[in-house]
């Protein structure tokens, strides 16, 4: 029996032989062949895939960290005005309580994870391109494939309330599909892009002048203005191929993709350099990332960005906000002087911030305290959001929202969904933005957005 068939048989046998008394979720794990995880993303999102299922798919890969692909849903909740983030969190805490795990062979290096994200806005209009994502959505995948440190596992999560044994035949059928997809050769080809459209530059300039006027009148201290670039291809854009072409930043990044409806619907992809918060046993890591210069100008004068009054002001707004928000819940909170962080096309000012919570909190508690920071919203937040809404005139959706994962212990890692795009059929929308303060120059901010969008445009197959 091949290794592929052996893995399927062992997992199926574990489900049939289950004799536990779980009343909720049960996770089964089995070692799997080490293959390219994007093959599974292609199977879940590409209509041309030889095998696959139309199920939600989530891809997550931190540079030098494990690669996860989640397929289907064992347990999920969406953010609603009635439920709210804390209500959603409570339902996942209850859902994960008593999670039973059955390991077939060597256990995986990581526990079951919940994946998802939140929109920048509190509500998403029904006619928005983001309607399939909603204001927030979190999923415990039915199937997960995890590749890390030269090994790989499949995780299967079943709801005991549906009867574990009653799901055995379905598990076998699904397992055969995903294991076959994992072994099916997958090729990425560059799509025939026919157009790239950006908004009117004069409109962009007028919006920046409006923000600067509000800053001068002390109505806001900073506001982040975003814009779109629209890409059209002669053929359907492929989610897995686009993610494959996103190249990790040397200084750290996360590649992600979320397709809430599988093949029929849209996919949100990105390569973000900005962590919102990582929480591990009440130890937290975050950062202030604001203030930008072209990478070539930084190479010519390494101290230029640190010496820039405009960029230091923009950066300080973010540092103060994070320290003020986390200070009341931390027994220890430390920051340092700003430093330079070089990315592939731009250079940022960054201030690493670490701390230890004074009481036990879930990572979503910290996300709620931090989102949105002035790096994506502005100062003061209420006035900045109102101004942003009047100028952008379209929902940002999950762009600039927190995206990431958490586990049953309340640990987790969330990043800000920057350098990203929304794919639907033959079209994609790439999102970029810039922080506007008193001394912002419209032409410079426009040039900054052109640099920021290059990585995602390359992922979509745009050359040059």
Q: 260-263: long-range contacts at Cβ-Cβ below 8 A with a sequence spacing of 24 or more?
A: 260/56, 260/132, 260/133, 260/137, 261/54, 261/56, 261/132, 262/44, 262/45, 262/52, 262/53, 262/54, 262/55, 262/56, 262/57, 263/44, 263/45, 263/46, 263/47, 263/49, 263/52, 263/54
Average pLDDT over the chain, rounded to an integer: 93
Q: Average pLDDT in the 118-123 region?
A: 92
DSSP category for residue 331: E
Q: Average pLDDT in the 429-447 region?
A: 95
Q: Average pLDDT in the 203-229 region?
A: 96
Q: Is 300 left (phi over 0), alpha (psi -120 to 50) or beta?
A: alpha
Residue 298 has pLDDT above 80, yes or no: no
Q: Which two tokens stand for residue 292?
A: 């930008």
Residue 296 has pLDDT above 80, yes or no: no
Q: Which two tokens stand for residue 138?
A: 């979190």
Burial class (CB in 10 A: 0-12, 13-18, 19+), 219: middle
Residues contacting residue 134 through CB under 8 Å, at least 6 positions apart? 78, 79, 119, 124
pLDDT band at 186; cut points 50, 70, 90: confident
Q: What's the pLDDT score for residue 110?
A: 93
Q: What's the pLDDT score for residue 5?
A: 60
Q: Average pLDDT in the 89-93 region?
A: 96
Other beta carbons within 10 Å of 133: 26
The beta strand positions in 32-190, using DSSP E, are 57-62, 67-71, 75-78, 100-104, 114-118, 136-140, 143-148, 151-159
Residue 48 has pLDDT above 70, yes or no: no
Q: What's the pLDDT score for residue 122?
A: 85
Q: Average pLDDT in the 270-280 region?
A: 98
pLDDT band at 1; cut points 50, 70, 90: very low
Question: Where do the domains of the chain lie?
Answer: 3-182, 193-254+267-459
Q: Which CATH number fits the domain 3-182, given the four candidates 3.40.630.10, 3.60.120.10, 3.40.50.720, 1.20.140.10?
A: 3.60.120.10
Residue 447 has pLDDT above 60, yes or no: yes
Range 392-423 burial, b when 16+ CB lie within 10 A, else e:
beebbbbbbbbbbbbbbebbbbbbbbbbbbbb
Q: What's the pLDDT score for residue 300?
A: 55
Distance linking the first and last C-alpha atoms of the chain: 49
pLDDT tens digit string along 310-323?
A: 999 999 999 999 99
pLDDT tens digit string along 217-271?
A: 999 999 999 999 999 999 999 999 999 999 999 999 999 999 998 877 899 999 9
Q: Average pLDDT in the 264-286 region?
A: 96
**Which homologous superfamily is 193-254+267-459 in?**
Anthranilate synthase (3.60.120.10)
Share of the chain above pLDDT 70, in %: 96
Active site residues: 222, 274
Q: What's the pLDDT score for residue 86?
A: 92
More confidently predicted of 299 and 285: 285
Please choose, from the candidates 116, 202, 199, the residue with its C-alpha nearest in 3D space to the C-alpha of residue 453: 199
CA distance 381 to 372: 8
- What's the whole-model pTM score? 0.96
Q: 3-state SS of 29-64?
A: EEECCCCCCHHHHHHHHCCCCCCCCCCCEEEEEECC
């Amino acid at each position: 029996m091949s290794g592929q068939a052996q893995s399927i048989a062992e997992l199926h046998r574990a489900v049939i032989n289950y004799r536990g008394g779980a009343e909720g979720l049960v996770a089964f794990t089995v070692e799997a062949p080490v293959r390219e995880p994007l093959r599974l993303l292609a199977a879940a999102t590409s209509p041309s895939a030889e095998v696959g299922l139309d199920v939600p798919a989530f891809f997550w890969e931190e540079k030098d960290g494990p690669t996860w692909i989640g397929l289907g849903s064992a347990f999920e909740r969406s953010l609603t005005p009635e439920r709210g983030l804390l209500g959603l969190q409570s339902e996942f805490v209850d859902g994960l309580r008593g999670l039973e795990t059955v390991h077939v062979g060597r256990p995986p290096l990581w526990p079951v994870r919940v994946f998802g994200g939140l929109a920048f806005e509190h509500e998403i209009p029904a006619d928005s391109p983001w309607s399939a994502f909603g204001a927030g959505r979190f999923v415990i995948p039915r199937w997960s494939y995890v590749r890390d440190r030269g090994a790989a596992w499949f995780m299967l999560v079943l709801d005991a309330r549906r009867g574990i044994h009653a799901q055995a035949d379905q598990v076998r059928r699904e397992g055969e599909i995903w294991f076959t997809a994992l072994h099916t050769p997958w090729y990425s080809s560059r799509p025939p892009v026919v157009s790239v459209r950006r908004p009117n530059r004069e409109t962009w300039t007028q919006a920046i002048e409006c923000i600067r006027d509000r800053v001068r009148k002390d109505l806001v201290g900073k506001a982040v203005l975003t814009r779109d670039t629209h890409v059209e291809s002669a053929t359907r854009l492929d989610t897995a191929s686009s993610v494959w072409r996103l190249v990790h930043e040397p200084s750290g990044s996360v590649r992600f993709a979320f397709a809430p409806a599988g093949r029929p619907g849209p996919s949100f992809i990105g390569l973000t350099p900005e962590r919102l918060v990582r929480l591990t046993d009440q130890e937290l890591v975050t950062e202030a990332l604001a203030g930008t210069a072209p990478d070539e100008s930084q190479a010519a004068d390494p101290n230029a960005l640190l010496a820039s009054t405009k960029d230091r002001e923009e950066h300080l707004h973010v540092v103060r906000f994070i320290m003020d928000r986390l200070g009341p819940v931390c027994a220890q909170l430390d920051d340092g002087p700003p430093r330079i962080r070089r990315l592939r096309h731009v250079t940022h000012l960054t201030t690493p911030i670490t701390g230890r919570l004074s009481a036990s909190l879930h990572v979503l508690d910290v996300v709620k305290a931090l989102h949105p920071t002035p790096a994506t919203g502005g100062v003061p937040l209420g006035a900045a959001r109102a101004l942003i809404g009047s100028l952008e005139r379209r929902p940002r959706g999950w762009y600039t929202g927190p995206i990431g994962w958490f586990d049953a212990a309340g640990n987790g890692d969330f990043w800000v969904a920057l350098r990203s795009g929304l794919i639907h059929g033959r079209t994609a929308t790439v999102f970029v933005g810039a922080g506007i303060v008193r001394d912002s120059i419209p032409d410079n901010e426009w040039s900054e957005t052109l640099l920021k969008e290059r990585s995602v445009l390359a992922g979509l197959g745009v050359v040059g």
